[in-house]
Amino acid sequence: MTWEEAGKYVLSVLTEAGFESYIVGGAVRDEYLSNPVHDVDISTEAETGDIQSVFPRTIDVGIQHGTVLVPVKGKPVEVSTFKGKSIKEDLRNRDFTCNSMAKTLQGEIIDPFGGKEDIDTKRLRTIGNSRAPFLEDPLRLLRALRFALQLGFKIDKETQDHMDDLAELILKPAAERIASETEKMSQTNLSGIDWDWLLKQRVFQQLPFVFKNAEVQSSLRTLKKPLFINDLLTWWSVALYNNAPESAKAGLSYYKRSNRLTKDVITIHSKVHQFFSDGWSLYDIYVLGEQRLDIAILLVKLVKPGTITADKWHEVYNDLPVKNKSDLPVTGRDLIAQFPALSGWEIGRWLKSIEKAVVEGAVANEKKAVLAWAEKEFNR
């Protein structure tokens, strides 16, 4: 089932139950643009209790704000009670004209604020070019930048002026919300011109920690080919790169990202710094692994263009005798049997030594050879 089909099903159930209801927001915009629809929101005159009564299952996600989810074959359709007394009042409370359209069950588009015209002319503006949407939810300042980039729209001058005047308000939303909004930007193919525009935006410049490295900024602004960052690890590794390694940890803590992400970003940054000071050993490539190696290579290219050849290091990685610890021919139990007097901590240390020896070619990745090497090193 497609998102459009899921939305139409929910809309038909509500309409047949006698409730005035419409598909609204991004789904209407994306369908008008002939873009894929990735989620569906519905506005209705029905109260949350009414919505719950006409569907066999609903999920309370914001019932205090008049919103529930209706799951339809894996597609969670968000259904909300009108914000206001009518659909026009509801649409007036939305962020931008392109998102302030509604569609009936019959497919008629209701467009009281010129959304279609703005989409046709690729213009992004608030309703009436008002600053009110930004005051109501300052995260919309950042969302405007994302929509402009993703949709290829130009922000209307009056709306842009409001954004510049209110730029400092972007620090008011919770850090997690800001992080999530910036992460959505990563799913866009950005050219050098796009990066130059984004990095000059007063709103974006207010964000702590992100894209503060001058070399990275310069390289992004002068990209010859668009850069598509399709995962969060790459996004945060590039966004938080700085000459001070502790800066990334502080940034990820500020934006409340996971410990695992923090560990990976710090590892990548430390290896990039090491590349510039001492170069990479086989063990460094092993520690990075395939994904983190790709990101480290990208960062080196951005910080000091022309100093690294990606193919060379991919070949080095592909030629490693092992790619992870599970490829080793021995386990902790093997070492305990060989060296029963060793403690658990010491066994772990010996496994690490074996891992490094195999990666660097000091011993063949064969059980007999590894145990003989360990015996020799142990008795040294």
For the domain that residue 362 is a member of, what is the CATH number?
Answer: 1.10.246
Query: Which among 305, 320, 335 is the end of a domain?
Result: 320
For the domain that residue 89 is a member of, what is the CATH number?
Answer: 3.30.460.10
Full pLDDT tens readout for the chain, 380 residues: 899 999 999 999 999 999 999 999 999 999 999 999 999 999 999 999 999 999 999 998 877 788 999 999 999 999 999 999 999 999 999 999 999 999 999 999 999 999 999 999 999 999 999 999 999 999 999 999 999 999 999 999 999 999 999 999 999 999 999 999 999 988 888 999 999 999 999 999 999 999 999 999 999 999 999 998 989 999 999 999 997 878 899 999 999 999 999 999 999 999 999 999 999 999 999 999 999 999 999 999 999 999 999 999 999 999 999 999 999 999 999 999 988 888 889 999 999 999 999 999 999 999 999 999 988 887 77
Residues 103 and 194 in one domain: no
pLDDT value of position 62 = 77
pLDDT value of position 268 = 97
pLDDT value of position 264 = 97
Number of independent structural domains in the chain: 4
Report if pTM > 0.85.
Answer: yes
Residues 214 and 199 in one domain: no
Long-range contacts of 176-182 (CB under 8 A, 24+ apart): 176/255, 176/256, 177/139, 178/139, 178/142, 178/207, 178/255, 179/255, 179/256, 179/257, 181/139, 181/142, 181/143, 181/146, 182/142, 182/207, 182/210, 182/235, 182/239
For the domain that residue 138 is a member of, what is the CATH number?
Answer: 1.10.110.30
